[in-house]
């Protein structure tokens, strides 16, 4: 900043600082200098006015090209027949893809699986994260080491994590069946059953995301003012009551946020079920085929891109419905809470 | 799941429910002292140790498994300590899954995405935090709204586009769609609102600095800590990105994640080699985690805190 003082006059003032280096010249600015000043001040105003747009434009340009346009075009593609072999050769179908989806038992199966896996992975994960955050919020030794350890799964990729878990859940030589054998339980064919395979998938999800959610809760807990706990304990509230009546209500917005994010994540579940069996069919009876996997199978294994696009729109619709439900829910909760307070 | 991660935390933690948030970070742990003498008892430590072990165990075990032959892994009792096959297996995984190329590709892809995301997010974050322009709030809302668009919704047209451009199997097909992130913009905005005093910008303006100079000499220095955190988070996400690369790339020119899926699909899978591959694919991030874990933890927590 310091280099340019001489040249850089406050541009739109009426010439206060310009003459600083003009001692050898006349006091009256020449025509050329006036023009120069004008030009500079015009440039300065433009800069002020338009540079914000220049700064935000990369985001919006990229989003328009790789987010918004594809989003709309997906809707268009969903009304066409289009094969992976020649993706840009499209035949108009109207709403056929959607009616077909409506009558497609695989679609409903995938929807159901997405829902059940979503529930059994999200609910325990967030409950555990809440408890862990509470525990980490105590006065602790080595709390940073625990945090890093809990977050490590976050840095592990879906692919690596799933390969490891697939082996742990192996039927014949998997460690989990071995451990079950120790307590006298017969080996389970985890991948073959509906319930067992969905359980296995959700443990991978839980493993990867619990630590991450823990940190988010912890951050929110540390923002709760201490006086609240002090007055609660003066009133004779036990630790559990403090957690129940001070911590949880203070965390409500954060909890809602994590629920929303986890739900969105659960709707998109893809890598874990793909890699558990190593193929996109989601098991021999599609017992753990999720919507994301079904989309992939339809478009990239069975080569029906138009139908894949229709599945994508169905997922979008689903997200909107879920979003509306949450919105209603938060409004209801907010209202009831407001009355309490 | 991957895609949502870049939504670390938006506004929610922000609303200070009960009272103004004072000393946001300091009083950690104190809260529970309020009840009196209560600090973490042995049960607390036990819980934390159990969960930490649970978090680390699959990774440690994959390293153990990677050091054994497939035959040893097919015995009824799984191994509990390292064998002597680690380097053979790593070697085989490296060659079988084309991991050398995959690693190079991934570093290139993740590096490019990280640099551009941090740069663009800082610029846009600065504009949203400190500059005045028309429709600012509406545009910011739009940025946040874009975080809701799931990647599945865009793959079909994106795939058509790269097929048309003959970019299938080309790295730019993976890089271009993720060069900016809404979360990044929001994250930088939240940081700069607090960390960059407006007087500093005004002073620079008084000195006649134009916007680019202000960015270079004032914004970038002020934003550096947040840029570092955003960079690390972005790199982790880009490294682990799965859904789009597996559609856009093939085993001929894979990223690490794509290469790993190929590893699991052999006819007679050698599980020691698969584990070695999984380990290799995670190792760079694990090393980064050992080195920068504290900062990454801090970054996630701050992302959640600052509304």
Residue A52 CB partners (closer than 8 Å, separation 6+): B127, B131, B132, B133, B136
Contact yes or no for A253 and B61 at CB 8 A: no
Chain B: nearest CA to A298, how far in angstroms?
A: 11
Q: How far apart are CA A122 and CA A213, in angstroms?
A: 11
Q: Are A158 and A205 in contact (CB under 8 A)?
A: no
Could you tell me which residues are beta bridge partners of residue A90?
Answer: A82
ipTM for the whole predicted complex goes beyond 0.85: no
Inter-CA distances, B203 with A135, B122, B169, B208, Å: 46, 20, 50, 9
Contact yes or no for B156 and A299 at CB 8 A: yes
Tell me, what's the pLDDT at A7?
Answer: 44
Contact yes or no for A268 and B150 at CB 8 A: yes
Query: Position of tokens 């809990």?
Result: A150
Residue A50: count of CB within 10 angstroms of its CB: 13
Residue B225 CB partners (closer than 8 Å, separation 6+): B191, B195
Tell me, what's the pLDDT at B147?
Answer: 78
Tell me the residues of chain B between 87 and 106 that have a Cβ less than 8 Å away from chain A: none
Look at residues B30, B23, B2, B10 and name the one whose alpha carbon lies nearest to residue A254. B10
Tell me, what's the pLDDT at B268?
Answer: 59
Q: Are A308 and A317 in contact (CB under 8 A)?
A: no
Closest CB to B127 among A52, A157, A167 = A52
Cβ–Cβ contact B75 with A under 8 A: yes
The sign one gets for the Cα dihedral B160, B163, B167, B168 is positive
Contact yes or no for A229 and B35 at CB 8 A: yes
Chain B: nearest CA to A28, how far in angstroms?
A: 22
Tell me, what's the pLDDT at A167?
Answer: 85
Tell me, what's the pLDDT at B118?
Answer: 95
- Give strand ranges (E) for chain A: 80-83, 86-92
Mean pLDDT of A244-249: 86
Tell me, what's the pLDDT at B33?
Answer: 40
Contact yes or no for A223 and B16 at CB 8 A: yes
Burial class (CB in 10 A: 0-12, 13-18, 19+), B53: exposed
Per-residue pLDDT tens digits for A260-294: 888 888 888 888 888 887 777 877 788 888 888 89
Where residue A207 falls among pLDDT bands split at 50, 70, 90?
very high
CA–CA–CA angle B250, B254, B255 (5° rounding): 140
Chain B: nearest CA to A302, how far in angstroms?
A: 14
Tell me, what's the pLDDT at B160?
Answer: 84
Q: How far apart are CA B36 and CA B112, in angstroms?
A: 52
User: How many Cβ pairs closer than 8 A exist between chain A and B?
Assistant: 419
- B39 interaction partners in chain A (CB closer than 8 Å): 138-140
**Does residue A12 have a pLDDT over 70?**
no
Tell me, what's the pLDDT at A250?
Answer: 86
Task: List average pLDDT for each run of 10 residues in chain B, which is 307 residues long.
Answer: 38 40 42 44 88 91 83 74 80 80 92 95 92 88 81 84 84 89 89 87 83 87 89 89 88 87 69 86 86 83 59
Tell me, what's the pLDDT at B119?
Answer: 95
Percentage of chain A with pLDDT > 90? 14
Greater model confidence, A28 or B200: B200
Mean pLDDT of A231-258: 84
Q: How far apart are CA B13 and CA A180, in angstroms?
A: 41
Percentage of chain A with pLDDT > 70? 89
What is the model's pTM? 0.81
**Does residue A77 have a pLDDT over 60?**
yes
Residue B150 CB partners (closer than 8 Å, separation 6+): A264, A267, A268, A315, A316, A319, B3
Look at residues A272, A126, A109 and name the one whose alpha carbon lies nearest to residue A199. A272
Contact yes or no for A158 and B1 at CB 8 A: yes
- A49 interaction partners in chain B (CB closer than 8 Å): 133
Most confident of A81-85, A107-111, A238-242, B270-274: A107-111
Tell me, what's the pLDDT at A275?
Answer: 83
């Amino acid at each position: 900043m310091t280099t340019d003082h001489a040249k850089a006059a406050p541009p739109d003032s009426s010439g206060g600082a310009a003459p600083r280096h003009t001692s050898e010249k006349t006091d009256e600015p020449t025509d050329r200098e006036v023009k120069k000043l004008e030009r500079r001040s015009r440039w300065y105003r433009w800069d002020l006015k338009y540079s914000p747009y220049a700064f935000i434009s990369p985001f919006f340009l990229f989003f328009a090209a790789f987010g918004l346009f594809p989003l709309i075009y997906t809707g268009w593609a969903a009304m066409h027949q289009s094969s992976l072999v020649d993706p840009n050769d499209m035949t108009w179908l109207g709403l056929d893809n959607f009616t077909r989806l409506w009558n497609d038992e695989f679609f409903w199966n995938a929807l159901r699986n997405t829902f059940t896996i979503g529930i059994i992975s999200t609910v325990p994960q967030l409950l555990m994260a809440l408890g862990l955050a509470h525990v980490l919020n105590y006065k602790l030794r080595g709390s940073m080491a625990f945090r890093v350890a809990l977050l490590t799964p976050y840095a592990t990729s879906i692919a690596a994590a799933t390969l490891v878990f697939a082996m742990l859940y192996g039927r014949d030589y998997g460690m989990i069946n071995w451990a079950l054998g120790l307590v006298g339980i017969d080996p389970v064919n985890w991948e073959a059953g509906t319930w067992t395979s969905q359980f296995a998938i959700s443990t991978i999800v839980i493993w990867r995301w619990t630590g991450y959610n823990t940190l988010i809760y912890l951050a929110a807990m540390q923002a709760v003012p201490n006086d609240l706990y002090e007055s609660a304990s003066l009133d004779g509230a036990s630790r559990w009551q403090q957690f129940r009546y001070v911590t949880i209500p203070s965390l409500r917005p954060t909890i809602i946020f994590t629920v929303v994010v986890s739900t969105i994540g659960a709707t998109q579940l893809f890598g874990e079920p793909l890699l558990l069996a190593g193929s996109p069919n989601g098991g021999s009876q599609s017992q753990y085929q999720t919507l994301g996997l079904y989309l992939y199978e339809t478009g990239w294994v069975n080569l029906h891109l138009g139908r894949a696009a229709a599945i994508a729109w169905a997922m979008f619709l689903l997200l909107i419905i879920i979003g509306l439900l949450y919105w209603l829910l938060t409004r209801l909760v907010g209202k009831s809470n407001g009355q309490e307070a | 799941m991957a895609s949502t991660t870049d939504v670390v935390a938006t506004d929610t933690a922000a609303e200070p429910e009960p009272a103004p948030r004072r000393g946001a970070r300091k009083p950690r742990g104190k809260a529970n002292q309020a009840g009196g003498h209560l600090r973490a008892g042995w049960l607390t430590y036990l819980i934390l140790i159990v969960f930490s072990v649970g978090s680390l165990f699959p990774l440690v075990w994959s390293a153990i498994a990677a050091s054994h032959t497939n035959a040893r892994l097919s015995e009824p009792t799984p191994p509990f300590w390292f064998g002597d096959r680690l380097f053979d297996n790593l070697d085989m995984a490296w060659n079988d899954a084309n991991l050398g190329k995959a690693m190079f590709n991934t570093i290139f892809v993740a590096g490019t995405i990280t640099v551009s995301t941090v740069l663009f997010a800082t610029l846009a974050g600065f504009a949203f935090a400190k500059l005045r322009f028309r429709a600012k709030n509406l545009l910011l809302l739009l940025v946040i709204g874009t975080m809701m668009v799931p990647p599945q919704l865009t793959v079909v047209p994106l795939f058509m586009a790269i097929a048309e451009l003959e970019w299938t199997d080309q790295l730019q097909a993976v890089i271009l769609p993720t060069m900016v992130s809404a979360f990044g913009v929001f994250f930088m905005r939240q940081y700069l609102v607090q960390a960059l005093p407006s007087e500093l910008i005004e002073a620079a303006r008084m000195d006649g600095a134009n916007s680019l100079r202000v960015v270079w000499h004032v914004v970038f220095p002020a934003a550096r800590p947040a840029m570092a955190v955003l960079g690390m988070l972005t790199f982790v996400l880009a490294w682990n990105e799965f859904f789009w690369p597996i559609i856009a790339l093939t085993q001929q020119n894979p990223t690490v994640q794509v290469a790993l899926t190929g590893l699991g699909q052999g006819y007679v899978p050698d599980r020691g080699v698969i584990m070695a591959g999984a380990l290799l694919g995670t190792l760079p991030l694990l090393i980064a985690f050992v080195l920068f874990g504290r900062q990454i933890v801090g970054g996630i927590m701050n992302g959640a805190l600052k509304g």
